[in-house]
Amino acid sequence: MRIRLKESIDTRIKYEENRKELMAGISHDLRTPLTAIKGYVEGLRDNVANTPEKQKKYLNTIYYKACDMDRLVEELFLFSKLDTGKFPFKFDIIKINDYINNFYLKIKEEFLNKGLEIFLANDCNEKDKVNIDCKQMDRVLLNIIENSYKYKKDSIGTCKINMYEKENDIVIKISDNGKGVSEEELEKIFISFYRCDPSRTKTNEGSGLGLAIAKQIIDNHKGKIRAYSNNGLVIEILIPKILSD
């Protein structure tokens, strides 16, 4: 009885700590672009931006900061639905080869133009099938690759997608050549609003929700996700394979 009571108390304490961290993260991430917007609006009101060029620059900054806030609110809404089990997934049984090849073709040029070269190595059988929500799986992979882009250490970074079979699962392994993360950070990387050491990136952009959302989506696919360092960051996803009769 005492053990169960202690476990219940520990769970409530942990929940309260997570709730406080979540609220602190929300407050920080909304305040940052809002402060910038207020500053530029004041500049316009006080006629600091006294040329058409400056006015255009100020207005563009206000617009992009408002877009940042919009993205954050959208991610918060998504995270909340995932966390409460109310997100409406749309699962389909598909051939994983077709999915990963199409995904790769959709994103490789976009990221190459941004300075991240993506490679695909696919060792799965062409008949292998999985039961996934393709749109949300896209979100998972994009969140991971965006993370690789954000933390790349060179002007041109590399990101490798390896897909293969492992017993009854399909493994999708995404690795980059960034600085990697410490063991302590690896334990927190899927926690909402957690950001790695700012020294790993030139900017502190991003909501800190991307990998937390990825984990929630993979959990809802009855899969697993983990991270480790190996000359960069490696994130490994396991999705149950549809077994043949």
Task: Give the structural domain span for 229.
Answer: 92-240
Report the CATH number at residue 12.
1.10.287.130
How do residues 17-28 score in pLDDT, each as one tens digit?
A: 666 666 666 676
What distance in Å separates the CA atoms of residue 163 and residue 98, rounded to the nearest whole number? 12
Report the CATH number at residue 180.
3.30.565.10
Domain boundary among 53, 83, 113: 83
How do residues 130-174 score in pLDDT, each as one tens digit?
A: 999 999 999 999 999 998 998 888 788 999 999 999 999 999 999
Phi, psi (deg, nearest 5) at residue 218:
-65, -40
Q: Count of domains in the chain? A: 2
Query: Would you tell me the crossing angle of helices 210-220 and 52-83 to the nearest 10 degrees?
Result: 30
What is the reported pTM? 0.76
Sign of CA dihedral 175, 176, 177, 183: negative
CA 80 to chain centre: 15
